[in-house]
């Protein structure tokens, strides 16, 4: 044998060794309960139950339906229930908390945070947190600014927690609690005796900072806090103007988080800094906004971080809890964390170090032409997997549904600034594609530990976003001028809003009393900031204008403009739709994707959802916007509702994407289902809440099982 060949043989041998030692995936144990939001702390949406499987799923039938009775026009229900000791815990569109017998749907108890009083407004409570220690069993969930601890057995507040069973989330953030709105819509996560939680804050200023907090599950006392907008001396402080930490808000975790219990690491994705679309008063990269944070669950100390968007002005929040996955590299199984994004990308990092497991490239991106705005010069994007949503809207993609709609869309297209990902916002309007609602959304991804495949459902909607001047209100003003200055960015100049995210205020006087309207303006609500700075007279004038149309003068409180004031706001959320309300670009308008994380390659990809009335005319398989995640099972199935218009609940073959079963829900299943077993019978339950895009609302939970 020649020396050369000998060397080659050794190299071949060395290469072969890792394969001989290659670690195999084994079917995981556990995963038969649903005691945690999205099924488990790892947020993998996986169930080991396999009574329902590929062969018999076609027999699946309704086991029970429970109607909360709380649906109203425009309401939504996004709750992923928790099931513990045979009891299912879930919320209603009016924020009541229900305990149901999980086998029959019969009510055990109801907790009403409003004690029967009328409560207006929209709630999008995505789930609750369950904790137990022996007989002490508690449900944590937030309604408006209060986080409640409810006794899971009796449905009564746990008096020893906080003040009479609740804490005020606005407190302890270093801001005047009266001037900020803070709530929680995605539940926090339990680590030992800590409840680690994010927040929902306003998207325009004044907004609360998005600090991550851990509280004692027994008392409600604060145990640690992580400042997502760093204070002086903290890492990242230099990525903001020097006083920003006192007046900028957001950079909050509204999407939920995941936990590696064994390593004691909590993974926290954050959203954009407020105000979302103009950052002239927050020049810099803005750490830790739009960042995946790995924190020590015990102390809140940062271990590593990755910022997905520097100085975000596109509302590119990380939208879902990251998925704690295992991927194979060179024959070795590596614990990793996968973060889907609104832009249609999937980032994969080694769990302990944050090292990317697919290359990330920093690309040069265009500057802004808007006065005072300074965008980052480069932005990261992963080179693999390929994006699960299209990345640029081009002229040839305009929808030709009818000659008339096509012509109008062409005219509109030519007026708007185009430019792919990181297209800067502009005075004339810029395309954001995928739009502000993704790509991926809050439903998050499902991961199959048996195969290493991750499942992501995605929206494909074009948004047109415009920068507009924020009218300054002088010393003397009127209700109408104050409305234009303060409210029109979300509720629009014509008051029609962009329901359901931003409600219409047309004829609001018929729905709400003046006292109720004034209170909402003064206190804020959900994603709406409060406007206490308008002063009593200003609030009264805006209220009067909304209620009766009368435009009264008032004297604004004296003093300089607040520190957070920006000269620019935006012209509202606009989707690129034709005059009949259909997407103005070619399908797919929503997709379902299966990606092998070992290779980064797609296993399958299908259009997901339909508009029934278009399908009836032959325009089928278009996909549609969809919200709520999937469950992948050991029975070989992928269950998902989510589609906005067709109200379907679907089961696909997880290996091929073939539709094996579907049922029509009472309203769209815009929620992640939950899977559990009672006395040997496997159930899957989903909230049917609808209410998106003007679709009918519902308030029920529907459980399915195989017939007995």
Q: Which of 250, 385, 503, 690 binds ligand HEC (CB under 6 A)?
A: 503
168: left (phi over 0), alpha (psi -120 to 50) or beta: beta
Backbone angles phi, psi at 211, to 5 degrees: -55, 140
Q: Indicate the residue among 201 and 675 with the shorter CB distance to ligand HEC.
A: 201
CA angle 571, 574, 575 (to 5 degrees): 165
Tell me which residue of 74, 52, 70 sits closest to 61, measured CA to CA.
52
Q: Is 44 in the site for ligand HEC (CB under 6 A)?
A: no
Q: Indicate the residue among 517 and 637 with the shorter CB distance to ligand HEC.
A: 517
* Residue 180 to residues 95, 126, 247, 632, 671, Cα–Cα distance (Å): 21, 22, 11, 39, 28
Q: Indicate the residue among 204 and 373 with the shorter CB distance to ligand HEC.
A: 204
Q: Is 509 in the site for ligand HEC (CB under 6 A)?
A: no
Q: Quickly count: other Cβ atoms within 10 Å of residue 548's Cβ.
A: 12
Of all residues in this chain, which one has the CB nearest to ligand HEC in the complex?
526
Q: Indicate the residue among 438 and 452 with the shorter CB distance to ligand HEC.
A: 438
Output the smallest distance, CB 627 to ligand HEC, in A: 16
For residues 336 and 351, the answer to whether their CB atoms sit within 8 Å is: yes
Site string for ligand HEC, 200-219 (x = CB under 6 A): --xxx---------------
Output the smallest distance, CB 587 to ligand HEC, in A: 29
Site string for ligand HEC, 387-406 (x = CB under 6 A): --------------------
Q: Indicate the residue among 119 and 219 with the shorter CB distance to ligand HEC.
A: 119
Q: Is 547 in the site for ligand HEC (CB under 6 A)?
A: no
Q: Quickly count: other Cβ atoms within 10 Å of residue 402's Cβ.
A: 13
Q: Is 622 in the site for ligand HEC (CB under 6 A)?
A: no
CA atoms within 13 A of residue 397's CA, in its CB half-sphere:
18
Rounded to whole angstroms, the Cα distance separating 311 from 398 reads: 30
CA atoms within 13 A of residue 501's CA, in its CB half-sphere:
13
Q: Indicate the residue among 274 and 685 with the shorter CB distance to ligand HEC.
A: 274
Dihedral, CA atoms, 338, 339, 345, 347, nearest 10 degrees? Answer: -50
Output the smallest distance, CB 564 to ligand HEC, in A: 13
Q: Indicate the residue among 648 and 692 with the shorter CB distance to ligand HEC.
A: 692
Rg (CA), the chain: 25
Q: Indicate the residue among 121 and 600 with the shorter CB distance to ligand HEC.
A: 121
Q: Which stretch binds ligand HEC (CB under 6 A): 279-287, 326-334, 513-521, 665-673?
A: 513-521
Q: Which of 45, 94, 525, 533 binds ligand HEC (CB under 6 A)?
A: 525
Q: Indicate the residue among 39 and 206 with the shorter CB distance to ligand HEC.
A: 206
Query: Per CB under 6 A, which of residues 105..164 are in contact with ligand HEC?
Result: 120-122
Output the smallest distance, CB 128 to ligand HEC, in A: 18
Output the smallest distance, CB 501 to ligand HEC, in A: 6
For residues 681 and 51, the answer to whether their CB atoms sit within 8 Å is: yes
Judged by CB under 6 A, how many residues of this single chain contact ligand HEC? Answer: 27
Contacts of 485 (CB under 8 A, 6+ apart): 470, 471, 472, 473, 477
Output the smallest distance, CB 482 to ligand HEC, in A: 7
Q: Is 237 exposed, middle or buried (0-12, 13-18, 19+ CB in 10 A)?
A: middle
Output the smallest distance, CB 185 to ligand HEC, in A: 9
Site string for ligand HEC, 471-490 (x = CB under 6 A): ---------------xx-xx
Q: Is 521 in the site for ligand HEC (CB under 6 A)?
A: yes
Rounded to whole angstroms, the Cα distance separating 255 from 454 reads: 18
Q: Indicate the residue among 266 and 542 with the shorter CB distance to ligand HEC.
A: 542
Rounded to whole angstroms, the Cα distance separating 534 from 556 reads: 7
Contacts of 644 (CB under 8 A, 6+ apart): 609, 624, 625, 626, 627, 668, 670, 692, 693, 695
Q: Which stretch binds ligand HEC (CB under 6 A): 60-68, 167-175, 433-441, 522-530?
A: 522-530
For residues 337 and 257, the answer to whether their CB atoms sit within 8 Å is: no
Q: Which spans of this chain sit near ligand HEC (rule: CB under 6 A)?
A: 120-122, 202-204, 486-487, 489-491, 502-503, 505, 508, 511, 517, 520-521, 525-529, 531, 542, 546
């Amino acid at each position: 044998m020649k020396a050369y060949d000998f060397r080659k043989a050794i190299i071949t041998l060395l290469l072969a060794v890792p394969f001989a030692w290659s670690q195999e995936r084994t079917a995981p144990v556990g995963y038969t309960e649903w005691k945690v939001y999205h099924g488990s702390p790892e947020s993998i949406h996986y169930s080991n139950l396999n009574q329902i499987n590929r062969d018999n799923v076609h027999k699946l039938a309704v086991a029970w339906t429970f109607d909360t009775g709380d649906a109203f026009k425009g309401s939504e229900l996004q709750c992923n229930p928790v099931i513990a000791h045979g009891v299912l815990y879930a919320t209603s569109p009016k924020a009541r908390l229900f305990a149901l017998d999980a086998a029959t749907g019969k009510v055990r108890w109801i907790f009403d945070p409003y004690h029967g009083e009328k409560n207006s407004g929209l709630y999008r409570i995505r789930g609750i947190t369950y904790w137990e220690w022996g007989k002490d069993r508690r449900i944590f969930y937030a309604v408006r600014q209060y986080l409640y601890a409810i006794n899971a057995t009796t449905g009564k507040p746990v008096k020893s927690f906080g003040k009479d069973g609740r804490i005020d989330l606005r407190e302890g953030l270093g801001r005047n609690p009266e001037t900020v709105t803070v709530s929680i819509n995605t539940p926090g996560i339990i680590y030992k005796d800590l409840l680690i939680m994010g927040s929902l804050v306003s998207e325009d200023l004044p907004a609360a900072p998005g600090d991550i907090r851990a509280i004692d599950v027994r008392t409600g006392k604060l145990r640690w806090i992580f400042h997502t907008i760093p204070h002086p001396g903290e890492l990242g402080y230099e990525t903001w103007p020097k006083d920003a930490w006192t007046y900028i808000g957001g950079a909050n975790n509204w999407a939920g988080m995941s936990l590696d219990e064994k390593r004691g690491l909590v993974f926290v994705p954050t959203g954009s800094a407020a105000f979302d679309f103009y950052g002239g008063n927050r020049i810099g990269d803005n750490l830790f906004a739009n960042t995946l944070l790995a924190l020590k669950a015990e102390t809140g100390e940062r271990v590593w971080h990755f910022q997905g968007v520097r100085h975000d002005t596109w509302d590119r929040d990380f939208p879902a809890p990251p998925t704690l996955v295992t991927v194979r590299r060179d024959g070795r199984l590596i614990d990793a964390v996968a973060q889907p994004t609104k832009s249609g990308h999937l980032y994969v990092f080694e769990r302990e170090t944050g090292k990317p497991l697919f290359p990330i490239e920093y690309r040069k991106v265009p500057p802004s032409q808007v006065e005072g705005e300074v965008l980052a010069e480069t932005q990261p994007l992963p080179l693999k997997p390929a994006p699960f949503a299209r990345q640029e809207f081009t002229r040839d993609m305009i929808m030709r549904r009818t000659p008339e709609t096509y012509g109008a869309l062409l005219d509109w297209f030519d007026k708007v600034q185009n430019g792919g990902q990181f297209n800067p916002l502009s005075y004339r309007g810029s395309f954001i594609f995928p739009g502000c609602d993704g790509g991926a959304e809050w439903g998050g991804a499902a991961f199959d530990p048996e195969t290493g495949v991750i499942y992501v459902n995605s929206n494909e909607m074009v948004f047109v976003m415009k920068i507009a001047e924020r009218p300054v209100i002088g010393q003397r003003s009127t209700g109408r001028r104050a409305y234009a200055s303060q409210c029109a960015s979300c509720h629009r100049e014509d008051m029609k809003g962009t329901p359901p995210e931003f409600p219409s205020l047309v004829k609001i006087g018929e729905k709400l009393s003046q006292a109720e309207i004034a209170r909402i303006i003064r206190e804020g609500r959900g994603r709406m900031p409060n406007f206490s700075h308008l002063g009593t007279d200003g609030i009264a004038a805006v209220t009067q204008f909304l209620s009766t149309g009368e435009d009264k003068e008032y004297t604004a409180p004296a003093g300089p403009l607040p520190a957070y004031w920006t000269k620019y706001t935006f012209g509202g959320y606009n989707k690129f739709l034709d005059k009949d309300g259909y997407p103005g670009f070619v399908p797919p308008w929503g997709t379902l994707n299966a990606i092998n994380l070992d290779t980064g390659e797609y296993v399958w990809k299908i259009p997901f959802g339909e508009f029934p009335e278009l399908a009836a005319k032959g325009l089928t398989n278009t996909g549609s916007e969809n919200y709520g995640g999937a469950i992948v099972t050991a029975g070989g199935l992928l269950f998902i509702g989510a589609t906005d218009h067709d109200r379907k609940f679907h089961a696909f073959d997880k290996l091929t994407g073939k539709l094996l079963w579907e049922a029509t829900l009472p309203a769209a299943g815009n929620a992640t289902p939950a899977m559990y077993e009672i006395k040997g019978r496997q159930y899957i339950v989903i909230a049917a809440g609808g209410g998106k895009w003007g679709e009918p609302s519902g308030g029920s939970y529907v459980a399915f099982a195989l017939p007995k």
